Amino acid sequence: MKLYVSGRTPNPRRVSVFLAEKGLHIERVDLDIMKEEHKDAGFVAMNPWQRVPVLVLDDGTAICESIAICRYVEALHPMPPLFGTTPTSQALIEMWNRRLELNLLAQIAAIFRHSHPAMAHLEVPQVPAWAQANRPKVDESLAILDRELANREFIAGDTYSVADITGLIALDFMKPVKLTIPDGLDHIRRWHETLRARPSGSVW
């Protein structure tokens, strides 16, 4: 089994943090996306969308999408459970993971991809106005999340889950994008510090 990643990029990191929480190690193949190593024919055959991470199983099956990879790992190694254990916890974790992906991580990524000169060869066309349009959306999501986190330790309840991993990666991704958590959002700040303080919190 081999995990295709690329340096310090956010989506492969979701899998790395997940594996760290499980205490697992998978052999890694590190591609340099800046040199477009993920655009060679062999990799494109595994993922026509040309994105990392990809987990390649021993029989050649390629599992793309970070959450699909995490689900596969969870099925093989259920402990500790990071996708929930009851119908309600499973649904809430799925809900929060999707909300964090669609309403926070995607917006931060859009700002980065559509404004950073180094991304121009990967994000075609690069639309700076789309980067600008996403800035207020990040603040809106952070304000909502801050209110939610007022009453619980983790985003989907009282236990750590894959949704927290998506949150950690999104919040850490704000730094290279030069975004900061607005003043007054103390619950988000506390949550971020809690996630970073875990042994998995500094893993790449």
Ligand X SMILES: N[C@@H](CCC(=O)N[C@@H](CS)C(=O)NCC(=O)O)C(=O)O
> Contact residues for ligand X (CB under 6 A)?
9-11, 33, 38, 50-53, 65-66, 122
Measured from the CB atom, is 20 or 185 closer to ligand X? 20
Residue 53, preceding bond cis, omega within 30 degrees? yes
Two tokens at 13?
A: 């990191």
Residue 156 · residue 83 · CB < 8 Å: no
Minimal distance, residue 189 CB to ligand X, in Å: 24
Give residue for tokens 């949550």.
Answer: 191
Minimal distance, residue 129 CB to ligand X, in Å: 19
Minimal distance, residue 65 CB to ligand X, in Å: 5
Minimal distance, residue 51 CB to ligand X, in Å: 4
Residues 6+ apart with CB under 8 A from 42: none
Minimal distance, residue 115 CB to ligand X, in Å: 14
Pairing of strands 2-5, 54-56: antiparallel
DSSP assignment of 45-102, as one string?
HH-TT--S-EEE-TTS-EEESHHHHHHHHHHH--SS-SS-SSHHHHHHHHHHHHHHII
Minimal distance, residue 15 CB to ligand X, in Å: 8
Two tokens at 109?
A: 């990524």
Q: What is the largest CA-CA distance in the chain?
A: 51
Residues 6+ apart with CB under 8 A from 198: 21, 160
